[in-house]
Structure 1
Amino acid sequence: MSTPSTPARGRPARLDRARTLQTALDLLDQSGLDALTMRRLADAMGVQAGALYRYFATKQDLLTAMAERMLEGVADATANNEGRNDDWSDRLATLARAHRAALLAHRDGARVFAGTHATGASVLGFAEAFVGVLREAGFRDDDAARALYTVVNYTVGHTLEEQAALQAEAGAPESVDTLRDAVATGPYPHLSATLPTLTSTDFTRLFEFGLDLLIEGLRARRAPSADN
């Protein structure tokens, strides 16, 4: 007798880890993180909810695996630059941009990633590439490790806000007007002067500005001997 995770004779398996992950990502893109439940995933797979626990003991385990899948290939973002005399900062920025793009590729991607601590080949490969760029550039080991956390936290935090803003704008496009009215009717001369930028939806430009600040800060901390 076949079970929900064991195929009947001559039929393809209905449930395996790779297909389950892909279905979970599809559901995430369709309805968002809040609507992604183990029961809904099981329904989409055509199995009983209990069958999923063969691969993922909890929903958190599923989300961790999803975060790992999202970062597939990100570590290779600088592969085409190997052998060239690219500045370390260019390689670092490339990795950070690839990380952001991977999170943006899925609805609520940053929320999924932020709540997990994946230790698979994709996530650790990305971290290895990032820290390696800095160590090879002459940064101390502790600075390289802390820079990884700093840039990753910035990227995830920025993307969290970016995705939340885009979803809010889609659901309530008057939110920008509300901000403008609040600033215009209050004692906020400095906010008024910078309102065009504050209400801009050019998130890539905003991300690049912050990334540049972080890289320039790292450049200032770089070990003097690295330039010799």
Structure 2
Amino acid sequence: MQDNTEFQIFIGCTDHQTFEEVITEKELKRMMYKFFERNKTDFSMFSAKGGYLHKNGNFIIENTLCINIIAASEYDIFKLAKSLSMYMNQECSLIIKTSIKTAFTFPKNNMNTNNTFQKGVKYEIFIGLKDKDSYVEIFDINDFKNILTQICTQKQLSFSLISQLGGYKHNKGYTTETSLKIVIIGAQEDEIPILAQYLKKKINTDAVLITKTEIEY
């Protein structure tokens, strides 16, 4: 293992003035693939649904691309984030910088394009979609995303939703399930357990995993 720095850039697909989608996620991914191939950069990307409070008071929901990069310079990250913001006509792209230990290239970080980092806290909530009694998924992943989008919009939380596969051990064996990772930045700490408890009851699951990480963004 070696010490390294991980950057994660979050960029939305909507124009910050018209609030219309100016590029699809697939088009943005293709553009970024070509960019990283030219620059010989190690990266990974995933699509997410995100939301943020706009300066005009509206809460904006949009398709978002998360770009993970390890072992790049801060200058190159700022330059890339700024270029993306200008191309998409966005006020900013979110970047998180995290000190990590790596053996392989698996990044996860974000930040703002004002050339300075500020300290903050990132919460991640992991929840599976299987009922704890029947071990059957009672929610479609997209339906559950819609429920969470409504909750985060009402609370005006900056968030991203990521679909994934998870697994856990229980008293009847081992179960794999569709799971959802909810990434929230800038929330009050007492809001997170309340949200997790609500989701736990909604799905009737045994537990919800919450992680809290101090970050620079």
- Shared topology, TM-score over 0.5? no
Please give the TM-score of this superposition, normalised by the length of structure 2.
0.24
Q: Which is strand-richer, 1 or 2?
A: 2
Please give the TM-score of this superposition, normalised by the length of structure 1.
0.23
Q: Which structure is larger by alpha-carbon Rg, 1 or 2? A: 1
Q: Which is helix-richer, 1 or 2?
A: 1
> Which one scores higher on RCO, CA 8 angstroms, separation ≥ 6?
2
